[in-house]
Structure 1
Amino acid sequence: MEYVERPRSCYIPRKPIPWNAQLEDAPHRNSFASSSGSWSVVSDSLDSIALGDSFSSGSERARHSPKDYRAFSFSRLSTASPGFQVSWLEGYSQSSPAVNPGNAHLRPSDGDKASLFRKKQTFDMYLANVKKTDNANVQYEFALFLLDSIQNRSTESTEMTPDHLRKAAKSILRRLSDRSHPHAQYYLGDGYASGLFSKGAEDYDRAFPLFVAASKHGHVEACYRAALCYELGWGTRVEAARAAQFYRQAASKNHPGAMLRMAQACLTGDMGLGRKRYREGIKWMKRASESSDMQYNSAPYELGLLHESGYGNDVFPDASYAAQLFTRSAELGHAEASYRLGDAYEHGKLHCPRDPQLSIHYYTCAAEQGHPLAMMAICAWYLVGAEPILEQDANEAYEWAKQAADLELPKAQYAVAFFTETGLGCERDPFEASAWYVRAADQGDIRAKQRISTIRAAGGFDVDEGPSKGKKRTDEHRPKWLGIF
């Protein structure tokens, strides 16, 4: 299978869109509820470690990877908008034994984010007592606490450097991994895969065997990660049959990413499954949709695509239900679903009413996650305005187009060239406009090629008069200036 590079970052908008809409009135909202919990390593038990006492595990909580380990985009079912790719391989939180060490006694003087490790002596005391205990879960939680301290540490000077804390955590996790502690095996492997424990370089040669080892002890996320390694050749050779085996094992334990991958494999017949198994694929898709969360939010969107157009005799077309599923994915943070809803509320698609407020809201949700077409949609809204919700603002329109152009969207590059050529929302600069036209033309934008030909035929820039800044949006139509949208 072809290796697919993951995006390294996403754009956070320079200025948020004014938003006062009452989303509760949206016809496809409130059918699904979601919440994202956060955990804290701070409670009252770290004092027990300092005293040399052992303590038992508390309630289960979700653990996040040190950083998102992959975001791929070869969804077999969706037709994503150009310039943005829909991912079905995303980070997942694996429940682990929870003990909540605390620093409440430091808060009166240092505040809620006080660092326990301002002094090396304090760190050495905790570490020495953790090593004395035979409770593997205590040691595991302390290792995670050390890693969290790196991110939450005070800006004040301290003798404990992040590298010191990271090495101590790695040492603890390695010892626990040698004792076959599944959560330690997974987190150590995740640290190698993310570069946390390998100086920023992804090291799947070390991560893969740790994922396999943890999966043998029933660690669901490790099982899913091992399946990814087998399918994509990370730290091992590509073995589709083994990948399918691990995916099925994780899916049987309700892992939403694994269930979605099994659904796609059944519907497309890939991963060595041979013939297509439509009913089994639909079953996995529905189960994945029901189990979707903030980390795995693609399944409702993928199922919505099936209901939008129908899928053979197994799924009948239902635009309203498709919009409902898109809304669920959007609420869980799925950018493409947010973009589709913005488009639906703008043009009245999927049985959604025309609603500028909801349209701008969902476009903004998608744009905040780096969706270039959503950025261009917001650009268009700023050009025409949607009073009293959004005032016309050519400067903001240019800024949004520029952000989309920086993400290599050809139509955005053409738009920036036009803005720059005419001085709409920015200073007029024919030479910069020419450069943007060339960038858009290099990516196949026909209008940019035509404009370059016109400029060359005229022997230079023959700047046309820009569009009227006073033109307002009508109820039924929005002007497409020079066809840039």
Structure 2
Amino acid sequence: MLIKCELSPVNSKKRLKSRLLPALTAMERSKQTLYDTHINMYPPARKEPHSQRIAGGSPSRTVPYPVEDAQQPMSPVPLQSAQTLRSMRSTASLNSRSKTGTPTNPRYDQPFSFQSLASRGPSADSLMNAKPSNSSVDTFQSASEVSESTVPPPPYVETDAVETPRVLQEKLYRQPSDFSEFSEASDQVPRSNESAKSQERDFSHYSEVAKRFFDVYQATINDSPNFTAEIQMIWCETLLQYAFIDEFIANYNINGNKLKRTLTAAEMLKNQKIILEHALKVLTKLITLQHGPALYLMATLYSQQPYLEVKIQAVIARNDAKALDYYCKAAALDVSDACYRAGVCYEYQRGTSPELNRIRSLQKAIHYYEKGALNCDNIACMYKLGMLCLQGVKDSEGNQILKQEVKVAVNWFLRAIRRDEKVGERPETSEKAENETAKQHNGAADATKNDLVSPQAMYELAKVYEFDGLAPMLQDLLTAAGFSRNPTKALQYYHRCATRYQYPLAQWRIGQCYEFGQLNLALAANKSIAWYAKAATAKPRGNPMAMMSLSGWYLTGAKGVLKANNHEAFNWARKACHASEGKLARAEYAVGFFYENGVGCAVDLAAAREHYQKAANAGHIKAQERLRNNYDWSVG
């Protein structure tokens, strides 16, 4: 029953605002999730500097460059004014004479932006303690503004023939007694030959991670006179990754030397700072040389979507506008992944100018997708073009921006999977061939091949040939273009996509076919549950629809296969809510029902109402009905 009441204009505005704000916040979160999902849909097929993925260390320890002003994207290292630099250099010089245990080395004292050797920056300790201000802190310039009058980072040598013998700055955590080994050799040893020195190293106590680091380091030292972009890019990526490996920064320095003792937490932060600072210096130099992969890496850091295993969020503030600038610059140099990500940025208007309307943004997105597909053979761009052509793009007035052409769409999908030569073969033959391939190639080779085929495009082709699940208008267009329902072909695509490319949506769909006897498959509860489980537990995050399907199986049970278990049914439904971030209305309604009736959980009416509300906001009719009845949710 509706109750009518009079509201003052002020109260009316407040109530309207209180209703609109949550809706706008939810809409913004939805747009952010779409952008993050699509920009990570195709992680770049780049070879990592070492064979195994390296995970960062303790998440509780902050990185050396906290962002103090979230509103102003800042360079990770404060850029000081000329006057400040002179005073800090003089202070550092005095301190270096009085502190035996903390020597400095000007080769490592340059700020983030490269400068001439005559204008070196403050010491690492000064940078660590410096407090940014509007007068002294600069931002990392856009890709089009970086100066080219720069020099590459200095070589890595253990002694300095010009100055008094000192240990490199990254060794300032050593004890004074550790310095004695350098005192006698200072007057006799010129700049050391690193390649000869490396031959004398005892690697018996090195970890495998450290050995891989030293291999990259040695290649970089050998390339120091040339500064070859490809070699230095690997060095930059290696530094960024290893800076977040606790085991490494606690026991090794930037030169790959094993330390005489394990560092304390404070010393590890200093060591990490040195590694990160130099990585960004190398990256800066590569950007001035207009090296495409470096531009792309910088873009991924600014967009907070790095392809490396780094905790970059506290190092560089997110700046979508700068990220888009770098993506576009890299795309202009035909960096394949940059074309795709630039397209995604424009499609979802992340970092775009406020003056650029939705229509113009979509046109630019299509431009970059076409560039990536045609110039770089990028399968992600092909898939995107296929989806846009399949649905067509219109403005708010119904004018066509991109014509709906189903035949062109299917052709793009086919191009995106053309490197898969086994589609259409019998599953047994395909699996046998896969086993033979696995014997001949290692996992990395298989992963590379997977990157050349779009599982998303294969899944869409399966839907086209399944036909029944498409919108009626789309079915009419496909029929007019000569396409018809082909269950056998659809199942072949689904099966290939689910087995060879481990695509969770295809795995869920096969589970559904076995559950309901679709696409000419016989009912098989055991196979249905197995496929659902595979999709629900997929990495990095399981498919929420598969989780809901498992919830249903646990709720009813399957004779001779699975015993009914209300607790597991509740758990899988709740996991579906979490995995979908509240966007799967069916899951929200189910959890609300479980809480209301105490199925697999204790009765919790407040929680039930919360989940019903989420489902109702997503358009779930039954949830809306539950909320409209006269039930008093507060007291039951």
1:378 maps to 2:550: yes
Contact in 2 for aligned 1:231/1:240 (Cα 8 Å): yes
Contact in 2 for aligned 1:130/1:142 (Cα 8 Å): no
* Equivalent-residue separation in structure 1 for 2:350 and 2:304 (angstroms): 12
Deviations 1:237-287 (A, max 9, x none): 444444333322211232111112222333344387544444332211211
* Equivalent-residue separation in structure 2 for 1:183 and 1:38 (angstroms): 10
1:147 maps to 2:240: yes
* 1:306 maps to amino acid: V
* Equivalent-residue separation in structure 2 for 1:107 and 1:283 (angstroms): 54
* Equivalent-residue separation in structure 2 for 1:356 and 1:225 (angstroms): 41
1:41 maps to 2:216: no
SS of alignment partner, residue 522 of structure 2: coil
* 1:419 maps to amino acid: F
* Equivalent-residue separation in structure 2 for 1:133 and 1:386 (angstroms): 68
Please show how residues 205-354 of structure 1 align to structure 2 within 5 Å.
Answer: 205-236=321-352, 237=356, 238-252=360-374, 253-270=376-393, 274-291=402-419, 293=450, 296-309=454-467, 311-312=478-479, 313-331=481-499, 332-354=501-523
* Deviation at residue 190 of structure 1 after TM alignment: 1.9
In structure 2, the partner of 1:479 is: none
> Residues 244 and 389 (structure 1 numbering): CA distance in 2 closer, same or farther, change over 3 Å?
same
Please show how residues 185-200 of structure 1 align to structure 2 within 5 Å.
Answer: 185-194=295-304, 196=312, 199=315
SS of alignment partner, residue 6 of structure 1: helix
> Residues 442 and 218 (structure 1 numbering): CA distance in 2 closer, same or farther, change over 3 Å?
closer
* Deviation at residue 173 of structure 1 after TM alignment: 1.5
* Equivalent-residue separation in structure 2 for 1:279 and 1:459 (angstroms): 55
* Equivalent-residue separation in structure 1 for 2:524 and 2:389 (angstroms): 38
1:109 maps to 2:216: no
> Residues 106 and 341 (structure 1 numbering): CA distance in 2 closer, same or farther, change over 3 Å?
farther
* Equivalent-residue separation in structure 2 for 1:154 and 1:347 (angstroms): 51
* Equivalent-residue separation in structure 1 for 2:211 and 2:543 (angstroms): 37
* Equivalent-residue separation in structure 1 for 2:387 and 2:45 (angstroms): 29
> Residues 267 and 139 (structure 1 numbering): CA distance in 2 closer, same or farther, change over 3 Å?
same
> Residues 338 and 281 (structure 1 numbering): CA distance in 2 closer, same or farther, change over 3 Å?
same
> Residues 233 and 444 (structure 1 numbering): CA distance in 2 closer, same or farther, change over 3 Å?
closer
SS of alignment partner, residue 350 of structure 1: coil
Report % sequence identity.
26
Q: Which runs of 5+ in 2 are unaligned?
A: 1-27, 38-43, 52-154, 159-197, 251-261, 306-311, 395-399, 421-449, 468-474
Q: Which shows bigger deviation, 423-432 or 356-365?
A: 423-432
* Equivalent-residue separation in structure 1 for 2:35 and 2:362 (angstroms): 27
* Equivalent-residue separation in structure 1 for 2:349 and 2:370 (angstroms): 18
> Residues 268 and 411 (structure 1 numbering): CA distance in 2 closer, same or farther, change over 3 Å?
closer
> Residues 115 and 386 (structure 1 numbering): CA distance in 2 closer, same or farther, change over 3 Å?
farther
* Equivalent-residue separation in structure 1 for 2:314 and 2:607 (angstroms): 42
Contact in 1 for aligned 2:220/2:232 (Cα 8 Å): no
TM-score (norm 1): 0.64
* Deviation at residue 363 of structure 1 after TM alignment: 1.7
Cα RMSD between the aligned structures? 4.2
In structure 2, the partner of 1:59 is: none
Q: Which has the higher contact order (CA 8 A, sep 6+)?
A: 1
Deviations 1:43-100 (A, max 9, x none): 8xxxxx9899xxxxxxxxxxxxxxxxxxxxxxxxxxxxxxxxxxxxxxxxxxxxxxxx
* Deviation at residue 429 of structure 1 after TM alignment: 4.4
Contact in 1 for aligned 2:35/2:348 (Cα 8 Å): no
* 1:343 maps to amino acid: Q
* Equivalent-residue separation in structure 2 for 1:444 and 1:268 (angstroms): 23
* Deviation at residue 431 of structure 1 after TM alignment: 5.5
* 1:395 maps to amino acid: H
1:5 maps to 2:51: no
Q: Which shows bigger deviation, 218-227 or 281-290?
A: 218-227
1:358 maps to 2:523: no
* Equivalent-residue separation in structure 2 for 1:438 and 1:229 (angstroms): 32
SS of alignment partner, residue 349 of structure 1: coil
* Equivalent-residue separation in structure 2 for 1:6 and 1:459 (angstroms): 32
Which structure has greater helix proportion?
Answer: 2
Q: Which shows bigger deviation, 155-164 or 371-380?
A: 155-164
Q: Which runs of 5+ in 1 are unaligned?
A: 11-35, 44-48, 53-101, 462-485
Contact in 2 for aligned 1:115/1:149 (Cα 8 Å): no
In structure 2, the partner of 1:19 is: none
Contact in 1 for aligned 2:532/2:550 (Cα 8 Å): yes
* Equivalent-residue separation in structure 2 for 1:446 and 1:226 (angstroms): 38
Deviations 1:215-247 (A, max 9, x none): 333322223333334444444444444433332
In structure 2, the partner of 1:468 is: none
* Equivalent-residue separation in structure 1 for 2:560 and 2:156 (angstroms): 59
* Equivalent-residue separation in structure 2 for 1:142 and 1:220 (angstroms): 21
* Equivalent-residue separation in structure 2 for 1:414 and 1:317 (angstroms): 34
Please show how residues 72-83 of structure 1 align to structure 2 within 5 Å.
Answer: none
* 1:149 maps to amino acid: Y
1:169 maps to 2:279: yes
* 1:244 maps to amino acid: I
* Deviation at residue 115 of structure 1 after TM alignment: 7.6
Contact in 1 for aligned 2:386/2:408 (Cα 8 Å): yes
Q: Which shows bigger deviation, 391-400 or 221-230?
A: 221-230
Contact in 2 for aligned 1:115/1:152 (Cα 8 Å): no
In structure 2, the partner of 1:415 is: 590
> Residues 117 and 387 (structure 1 numbering): CA distance in 2 closer, same or farther, change over 3 Å?
same
Count of matched residue positions in the alignment of Structure 1 and Structure 2: 377
